[in-house]
């Protein structure tokens, strides 16, 4: 079978390419998925260069997401032929991932794909869409409605950000998209942003401990100073979700937003969250939350193009979602 494989040459040298390798063997409580689609996330790009925070076992197949059909099952839960999706857990980290024609996974990681959505469309969502939807779900669960006020989405041109903008627009929210890429303003408006603001303007007055109330909710995908600045501008009883660290893993903030405005900061983890919660979100994304512009935010590639796109992801050149069509 064909797979995109990363190999370690020395402690600081790694190579990656598409190879023909043996099919995995299905053990107890495992299934093998015949993959139809995977996708590319920032974590996959880190894995492609041997980042130790993602993968420590080599040779290694990348891909933290996969969709397809059950090809072989040693599980009482799944039957051959069922359409399934896996995102997160250890897939594509220290276990081989979804950039492969056949993918072995623990049955406990696997969700069923709702009948109302195709393998391709659910993989356009993938981990990015799941993360965006989990963030939006927290806003809704904490009583942030379209009437509450504007919702800020940071890192809005990225995979999570793009889907968050589109989903929030679909659900009737007024969306303010924040980006460092001024040339992408038209793209952001085309996918659902009502207003676009830019990083330099947003980071003005960064030393002030509190700023004017602006946002009822925030979906932050980048962390660092952007998240700190967003907290200072959240409205009273506002909700800020945090799911990324492309700007920084550090958060230099103060207590004022929390003790003077009752702002709530909620962490989002789409990797280890309960399978039942993932299944619920997939059902929503396949029905009432399904966005109409999936194709507009997506570029389809093959296994042979993964290396090039990973380099673009690492250098911040990517807009929207990249999905990988698996040929077999």
Q: What is the CATH number for 135?
A: 3.40.50.720
103 and 226 inside one domain: no
Q: How many domains does the chain have?
A: 2
- The model's pLDDT over 299-322, given as tens digits with 9 standing for 90+, comes to 999 999 999 999 998 888 888 889
**Closest by Cα among 307, 321, 326, 324 to 45:** 307
H-helix or E-strand spanning residue 159: helix 159-170
Alpha carbon 163 to chain centroid distance? Answer: 9
Q: pTM for this structure?
A: 0.89
Query: Does 276 reside within a domain?
Result: no
16 and 54 inside one domain: yes
Query: Does 279 reside within a domain?
Result: no
Query: Does 201 reside within a domain?
Result: yes
pLDDT at 319: 81
Examine the pLDDT at 295 and tell me if it is beyond 90. Answer: no
152 and 243 inside one domain: yes
- The model's pLDDT over 38-48, given as tens digits with 9 standing for 90+, comes to 999 888 999 99
With a CB cutoff of 8 Å and minimum separation 6, the contacts of 236 are 213, 261, 262, 263
pLDDT at 245: 87
Q: What whole-number distance in Å separates Cα of residue 100 and Cα of residue 23? A: 10
Measuring CA to CA, how many Å separate 18 from each of 4, 6, 99? 4, 9, 9
- The model's pLDDT over 58-117, given as tens digits with 9 standing for 90+, comes to 899 999 999 999 999 999 999 999 999 999 999 999 899 999 999 999 999 999 999 999
pLDDT at 238: 98
253 and 316 inside one domain: no
Specify which residues 84 forms β-bridges with.
68, 112
CB distance 324 to 39 below 8 Å: yes
**Closest by Cα among 159, 226, 221, 164 to 197:** 226
Examine the pLDDT at 155 and tell me if it is beyond 90. Answer: yes
Of 217, 234, 267, at which residue does a domain stop? Answer: 267
- CATH code, 76: 3.90.180.10
Query: Does 273 reside within a domain?
Result: no
Examine the pLDDT at 35 and tell me if it is beyond 70. Answer: yes
56 and 147 inside one domain: no
233 and 174 inside one domain: yes
Query: Does 310 reside within a domain?
Result: yes
- The model's pLDDT over 3-33, given as tens digits with 9 standing for 90+, comes to 999 999 988 889 999 999 999 999 999 999 9
208 and 152 inside one domain: yes
76 and 31 inside one domain: yes
133 and 253 inside one domain: yes
CB distance 270 to 244 below 8 Å: no
20 and 99 inside one domain: yes
151 and 112 inside one domain: no
Residue with tokens 């401990």: 209
Of 219, 236, 267, at which residue does a domain stop? Answer: 267
Query: Does 122 reside within a domain?
Result: no
- The model's pLDDT over 222-278, given as tens digits with 9 standing for 90+, comes to 999 999 999 999 999 999 999 998 889 999 999 999 999 999 999 999 999 999 999
Helix axis angle, 119-141 relative to 159-170, nearest 10°? 70
Residue with tokens 């379209």: 146
191 and 160 inside one domain: yes
Enclosing domain of residue 38? 2-116+290-325
Query: Does 284 reside within a domain?
Result: no
pLDDT at 320: 82
Using 50, 70 and 90 to split pLDDT, how confident is the model at 328?
low
Q: What whole-number distance in Å separates Cα of residue 144 and Cα of residue 149? A: 8
pLDDT at 52: 84
Specify which residues 303 forms β-bridges with.
none
Examine the pLDDT at 124 and tell me if it is beyond 70. Answer: yes
Using 50, 70 and 90 to split pLDDT, how confident is the model at 161?
very high
Return the half-sphere exposure (C-beta side, CA atoms, 13 A cut-off) of residue 120.
Answer: 9
């Amino acid at each position: 079978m064909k797979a995109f494989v990363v190999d370690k040459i020395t402690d600081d040298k790694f190579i990656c390419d598409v190879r023909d390798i043996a099919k995995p063997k299905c053990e107890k409580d495992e299934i093998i998925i015949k993959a139809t689609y995977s996708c590319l996330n920032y974590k996959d790009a880190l894995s492609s260069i041997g980042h130790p925070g993602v993968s420590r076992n080599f040779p290694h197949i990348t891909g933290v997401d996969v969709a397809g059909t059950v090809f072989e099952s040693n599980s009482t839960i799944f039957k051959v032929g069922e359409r399934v999706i896996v995102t997160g857990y250890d897939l594509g980290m220290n276990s081989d991932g979804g950039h492969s024609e056949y993918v072995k996974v623990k049955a406990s990681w696997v969700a069923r794909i709702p009948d109302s959505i195709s393998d391709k469309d659910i993989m356009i969502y993938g981990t990015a869409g799941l993360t965006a939807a989990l963030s939006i779900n927290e806003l809704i669960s904490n009583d942030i409605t379209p009437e509450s006020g504007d919702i800020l989405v940071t890192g809005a041109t990225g995979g999570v950000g793009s889907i968050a903008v589109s989903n929030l627009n679909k659900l009737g929210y007024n969306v303010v998209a924040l980006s460092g890429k001024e040339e992408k303003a038209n793209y952001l408006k085309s996918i659902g942003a009502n207003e676009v603001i830019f990083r330099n303007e947003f980071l003005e007055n960064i030393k002030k401990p509190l700023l004017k109330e602006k946002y009822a909710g925030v979906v932050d995908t980048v962390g660092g100073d952007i998240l700190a600045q967003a907290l200072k501008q959240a409205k009273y009883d506002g909700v800020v979700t945090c799911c990324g660290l492309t700007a920084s893993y550090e958060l230099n903030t103060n207590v004022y937003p929390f003790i003077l405005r009752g702002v709530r900061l909620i962490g989002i983890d789409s990797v280890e969250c309960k399978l039942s919660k993932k299944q619920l979100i997939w059902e929503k994304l396949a029905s009432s939350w399904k966005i109409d512009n999936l194709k507009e935010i997506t570029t389809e590639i093959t296994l042979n193009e993964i290396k090039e796109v990973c380099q673009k992801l690492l250098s911040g050149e990517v807009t929207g979602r990249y999905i990988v069509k698996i040929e077999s």
